């Protein structure tokens, strides 16, 4: 995992999960733009859903079933994903469909975040936020705030990121979206870890973990466990950190390559910090193989760490 604020969205546990955004329409061209089947279209005209390992919105603000499809974004094909969003954006604008426009802007912003184009990501997510507010789309507003907070986090703007996540959390709770609430709590915990507010971070991550378990989201559960492991490693409690990553690995192996790699990386870093260098390096190599397979930018920091331990 990259130091907070130093990497792209893909370098955070939560990028995983912030993938291509779809508005479920009965228009075949929109489905074709995203390269996915109609089975992914689970909600109505005005109810965007995120195709990610954790899904924070559906009709009525309730969590919908997470999709198993990786989509263009989750395969690391950011150029194609961005092109799809741009085409969708043009189509929604031509139709005068404000919610679709806001959703496409959010999706485009997430792709740009994953590619470390923070300025453009911030611009598009800001537009999505304002448009969602203008048309009274509360779930769109909450999602845009949640995603914008992730961009601000990556840029090192922790105060701005915390404010965005806290507002998103408030909206998700008002809407009764437990997935959204879990996502915002998880992301807020990461921000607090970055600012060494370990007590608050632990509290929010524990709440996020409980919510993911309640809604049966195993990938979200693994994400929260990996984040708790990173928190405990930062606090110097290696045994507790390792236990969190081991639980995450048991849950996510063969289910979510990203979280599996995050768990392996976390275990490797625990071992390095605890003086078990060869075992730690072996685990980092396993994580690196997966990161490269899914074209995650996390691979860069793992390679740096391995180079630092060459000959040791």
* CA atoms of 240 and 12, how far apart (whole Å): 21
At residue 113, φ and ψ (nearest 5 deg) are -60, -45
Measured from the Cβ of residue 308, the count of other Cβ atoms closer than 10 Å reads 9
Please tell me the predicted confidence (pLDDT) of residue 302.
96
236 CB burial (10 A radius; 0-12, 13-18, 19+): exposed
Report whether CATH 2.60.40.10 matches the domain 217-312: no
Q: Identify whether the C-beta of residue 188 lies closer than 8 Å to the C-beta of residue 153.
A: no
Kindly give, in sequence order, each residue whose CB lies less than 8 Å from that of residue 70, ignoring residues fewer than 6 positions away.
19
Q: Identify whether the C-beta of residue 284 lies closer than 8 Å to the C-beta of residue 306.
A: yes
Residue of 65 and 175 predicted with greater confidence: 175
Q: Residue range 10-31: average pLDDT?
A: 33
Three-state helix/strand/coil letters over the chain: CCCCCCCCHHHCHHHHHCCCEEECCCCHHHHHHHCCCHHHCCCCCCCEEECCCCCCCCHHHCCCCCCCCCHHHHCCCHHHHHHHHHHHHHHHHHHCCHHHHHHHHHHHHHHHHHCCCHHHHHHHHHHHHHHHHHHCCHHHHHHHHHHHHHHHHHCCCHHHHHHHHHHHHHHHHHHCCHHHHHHHHHHHHHHHHHCCCHHHHHHHHHHHHHHHHHCCCHHHHHHHHHHHHHHHHHCCCHHHHHHHHHHHHHHHCCCCHHHHHHHHHHHHHHHHHCCCHHHHHHHHHHHHHHHHHCCCCHHHHHHHHHHHCCCC
Of the candidates 81, 103, 106, the residue with the CA atom closest to the CA atom of residue 92: 103
With a cut of 90, say whether residue 1 has pLDDT above it.
Answer: no
% the chain with pLDDT above 90: 63
Window from 112-116, 168-172, 244-248 with minimum mean pLDDT: 112-116
Q: Residue range 292-302: average pLDDT?
A: 89
With a cut of 60, say whether residue 17 has pLDDT above it.
Answer: no
Residue of 249 and 41 predicted with greater confidence: 249
Please tell me the predicted confidence (pLDDT) of residue 129.
97
* CA atoms of 123 and 149, how far apart (whole Å): 13
Tens-digit pLDDT profile for residues 262-277: 999 999 999 999 999 9
Kindly give, in sequence order, each residue whose CB lies less than 8 Å from that of residue 162, ignoring residues fewer than 6 positions away.
149, 188, 191, 192
Tens-digit pLDDT profile for residues 98-131: 999 999 999 999 889 888 899 999 999 999 999 9
Please tell me the predicted confidence (pLDDT) of residue 51.
29
% the chain with pLDDT above 70: 75
Please tell me the predicted confidence (pLDDT) of residue 253.
82
With a cut of 80, say whether residue 22 has pLDDT above it.
Answer: no
Q: Identify whether the C-beta of residue 270 lies closer than 8 Å to the C-beta of residue 241.
A: yes
Please tell me the predicted confidence (pLDDT) of residue 34.
32
Split at pLDDT 50, 70, 90, the class of 4 is very low
Residue of 101 and 52 predicted with greater confidence: 101
pTM of the entire predicted model: 0.77
Tens-digit pLDDT profile for residues 53-70: 333 433 233 333 222 223
With a cut of 70, say whether residue 225 has pLDDT above it.
Answer: yes
Residue of 81 and 258 predicted with greater confidence: 258
Q: What is the CATH number of domain 1-196?
A: 1.25.40.10
With a cut of 50, say whether residue 73 has pLDDT above it.
Answer: no
Window from 42-56, 146-160, 222-236 with minimum mean pLDDT: 42-56
Q: Identify whether the C-beta of residue 198 lies closer than 8 Å to the C-beta of residue 210.
A: no
Please tell me the predicted confidence (pLDDT) of residue 78.
74
Q: Looking at the chain, how many residues does it have? A: 312
Split at pLDDT 50, 70, 90, the class of 30 is very low
With a cut of 80, say whether residue 156 has pLDDT above it.
Answer: yes
Mean pLDDT over all residues of the chain? 79
At residue 277, φ and ψ (nearest 5 deg) are -65, -50
Q: Residue range 233-253: average pLDDT?
A: 94
Split at pLDDT 50, 70, 90, the class of 312 is low
What residue ranges of the chain are covered by domains with CATH 1.25.40.10?
A: 1-196, 217-312
């Amino acid at each position: 995992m990259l130091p907070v604020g130093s990497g792209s969205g893909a370098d955070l546990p939560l990028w995983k999960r912030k993938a291509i955004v779809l508005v479920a329409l009965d228009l075949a061209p929109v489905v074709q733009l995203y390269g996915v089947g109609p089975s992914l279209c689970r909600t109505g005209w005005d109810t965007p859903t995120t195709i990610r390992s954790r899904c924070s919105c559906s009709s009525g603000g309730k969590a919908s079933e997470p999709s198993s499809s990786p989509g263009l974004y989750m395969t690391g094909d950011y150029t194609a994903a961005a092109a799809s969003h741009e085409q969708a954006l043009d189509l929604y604008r031509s139709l005068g469909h404000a919610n679709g426009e806001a959703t496409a802007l959010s999706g485009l912003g997430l792709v740009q975040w994953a590619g470390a184009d923070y300025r453009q990501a911030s611009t598009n997510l800001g537009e999505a936020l304002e448009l969602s507010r203008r048309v009274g789309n509360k779930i769109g507003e909450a999602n845009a705030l949640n995603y914008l907070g992730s961009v601000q986090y990556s840029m090192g703007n922790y105060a701005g990121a915390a404010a965005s996540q806290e507002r998103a959390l408030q909206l998700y709770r008002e809407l009764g979206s437990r997935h959204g609430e879990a996502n915002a709590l998880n992301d807020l915990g990461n921000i607090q870890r970055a600012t060494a507010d370990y007590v608050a971070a632990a509290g929010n991550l524990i709440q996020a973990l409980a919510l993911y378990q309640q809604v049966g989201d195993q990938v979200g559960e693994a994400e929260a466990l990996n984040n708790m492991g990173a928190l405990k490693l930062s606090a110097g409690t290696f045994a507790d950190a390792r236990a969190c990553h081991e639980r995450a690995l048991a849950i996510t192996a063969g289910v979510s390559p990203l979280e599996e790699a995050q768990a392996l990386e976390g275990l490797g870093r625990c071992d390095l910090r605890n003086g078990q260098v060869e075992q730690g390096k072996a685990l980092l190599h396993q994580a690196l193989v997966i990161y490269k397979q899914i074209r995650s930018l996390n691979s860069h920091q793992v390679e740096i760490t391995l180079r630092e331990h060459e000959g040791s």
